[in-house]
Amino acid sequence: MSPLLKVEGVSKRFRGLLAVDKVSFEVPQGGIYAVIGPNGAGKTTLFNMIAGVFAPDGGDITFAGERIDGLLPNQVAQRGIGRTFQIVRPFPALTVEENVVVGALMKRKDVSAARAHAHDVMRRLDLYDKRAQRASSMTLPDRKRLEVARALATDPKLLLLDEVMAGLRPTETDRIVAILKELNRDSGLTILLIEHVMRAVMALAQHIVVLHHGANIAEGAPVDVVRDKAVIDSYLGAEAV
């Protein structure tokens, strides 16, 4: 089967800095893959290229058989890639429900259909009881789940998650991990996550890609990647293994 997402030799330079250096990997339909690596390794830049924020300086990105590198963010989103941001950015003055409806309207013209879909998504993310609350008054764990809900409301085939577990306690991390596993199992949602919280990576990912100084230094099954000497030296440290 052809992969849902194919990243081939993708690079991005910011002035003198090679932020992403000829990175290649594939994500199969229905997979949960993770990108890990130290701060500044190029993970968010890679996501930004997949999501259409930056065009790569070199390389190809193919999604569902179509080249998407160079498309604009809304064109990428229309094709079925939903994303969250490292710094959560819901509309603060809107309620939880209104925020999720905004996402749902991307693929729906009808507001009542968008609202019905938003209700579905909020139930899945344990946000339904908080739907009337303003985003600005939410706790961090709730805002993180709202960020996932907003992305999910756009009906993605591929969900890009940028550090959704950061700052959460282990019980809250486990709650999001369980929700993501359920979405993957029930709807076949393909997930690519950037994550520093290894507890979540090990619980979720079937395959890990490791970036360091922009380059892919290792990839494979989680059990193998965490024992890889280059990964331990550059990122995990010996105590993590």
Ligand X SMILES: Nc1ncnc2c1ncn2[C@@H]1O[C@H](COP(=O)(O)OP(=O)(O)OP(=O)(O)O)[C@@H](O)[C@H]1O
| Binding interface with ligand X (CB under 6 A) | 14, 17, 19, 37, 39-45, 86
Contact 61, 67 (CB under 8 A): yes
Shortest gap between Cβ of 16 and ligand X (angstroms)? 10
Instruction: Report the DSSP pairing between strands 190-194 and 158-162.
Output: parallel
Shortest gap between Cβ of 23 and ligand X (angstroms)? 11
Closer residue to ligand X (CB): 15 or 109: 15
Q: Which residues of 180-201 are buried (b: 16+ CB within 10 A; e: fewer)?
A: beebbeeeebbbbbbbebbebb
Closer residue to ligand X (CB): 12 or 145: 12
Shortest gap between Cβ of 128 and ligand X (angstroms)? 31
Shortest gap between Cβ of 211 and ligand X (angstroms)? 6
Closer residue to ligand X (CB): 184 or 234: 234
Tokens representing 155 are 């009906």
CA-based torsion, 178, 181, 187, 191: positive or negative: positive
Q: Which residues on adjacent β-strands are paired with residue 160? A: 83, 192
Closer residue to ligand X (CB): 24 or 133: 24
Shortest gap between Cβ of 18 and ligand X (angstroms)? 9
Task: Give the per-residue SS3 of 60-89.
Answer: EEEECCEECCCCCHHHHHHHCEEECCCCCC
Closer residue to ligand X (CB): 45 or 95: 45
